[in-house]
Amino acid sequence: MSVRVQAWGIIAAVLADSDPSGAAIRQRLSNSLDENPGVPERALLEYLLETRRNDAMAAQEPEDGPRRLAPPVLPPQIIEQMDAIQSMSRISALLESQMLMTAFQPIYGLAGRNVVGVEALSRFVSDDGAAAELWFAEAAAVGLGANLEFSALGSAAAAARDLPEHLYVSLNISPSSCIDPRLPELFAHIDLPINRVVLELTDSISDEEYLQFIAAINPLREKGLRIAVDDAHSGAGDLSRMIHLRPDFIKVGRNVISRVDSDGLQQALAACLVDFSDQIGSTLVAEGVETVGELKVLSQLGISAGQGYLLGRPSVRPQDWATWNKQLDVDVLERQLREHETASGSAPPKKSR
């Protein structure tokens, strides 16, 4: 159902209310409809904002002060619909104003100790970046998830023009958006060659969508597109499916690599995943590398690549991206880390996703 159709439904319910305390505000809603013909959502938002202002003013008045008539109490279903329309308006405004930036985080090849790729992470101009997942969740909840994803993909592809040309670019996308017909159209309109693109799936592929996903993604893989999956979404069934899907990259996180330098069971788990990825022809990438000890053991185990705050923070600055052609010196990194910890008296911060 469109925003406009929902707005008309809510407005009809509000105007049908007979509570005298809300007569004045209902009249203003009716007047706003006349002033905004054909745009009921704008009139509804003005009504919603005035209602919230009245609530706030009523809360600030002293108990012994003059009493205002309480605003009309709306049914919970109407309030939910209003909240949904407010979310739609927020996301729509974000999409229209293109308030999206892209931060890139380097991914190092652990054998050659050089940057081989980057992961694109969305940052919102009106936000510090920490709540990016909340924006995407809110968009998905009101049916605009794919729109926001494709806007983020376009923003990342445009920003990637300033990256060193030898780096691949990992773009986060939901399996549902991979089925969207806009995906092949995207590759026809961006400057980033498809053989430099890795689509990193942000969720498991549902059974209902699996065949559609394969049908949509295989023609793109034949043109050079690569895909990555996250072990966080890998139950036993998903591991079995990986044998069929054969992703180009498998990404393992802190649940696998935490204490891998001091815990024998963690080492055994990581070694099993190295063997599994070798068997199906996938590149294993360790996410969230935080200590030099972890980095050394991961390299010894044969994990192909790694990323994390230890190796490089996400950055929106092209001047930082331009430096990602230098080889990593682990001894220098270890010394710098010790000096930082001595100066600050704390361990390096963890990556916030």
Asked, for residue 47, whether it belongs to a domain, the answer is yes
CATH number at residue 118: 3.20.20.450
Decide if pLDDT at 292 tops 60. yes
- Whole domain around residue 13: which residue ranges? 3-93
pTM of the model: 0.73
Asked, for residue 351, whether it belongs to a domain, the answer is no
Burial state string for 152-182 with b = 16 or more CB within 10 A and e = fewer than 16: bbbbbbebbeebeeebbbbbbbbbbbbbbee
pLDDT of the residue at 77: 65
Structural domain total, the chain: 2
Q: pLDDT tens across 105-157, in order?
A: 999 999 989 999 999 999 887 654 447 888 888 888 888 889 999 999 999 99
pLDDT of the residue at 351: 43
Q: pLDDT tens across 320-331, in order?
A: 998 887 787 777
Asked, for residue 350, whether it belongs to a domain, the answer is no
Asked, for residue 353, whether it belongs to a domain, the answer is no
In this prediction, residues 13-30 reach a mean pLDDT of 76
Burial state string for 250-265 with b = 16 or more CB within 10 A and e = fewer than 16: bbbbbebbeebbeeee
Q: pLDDT tens across 187-198, in order?
A: 999 999 999 999
Single out the residue in 93, 115, 142 at which a domain terminates: 93
Q: How far apart are the C-alpha atoms of 39 and 113, rounded to whole Å?
A: 57
Asked, for residue 126, whether it belongs to a domain, the answer is yes
Asked, for residue 329, whether it belongs to a domain, the answer is yes
Decide if pLDDT at 311 tops 80. yes
Same domain membership, residue 243 and residue 186: yes
pLDDT of the residue at 350: 45
Q: What percent of the chain has pLDDT over 70?
A: 75
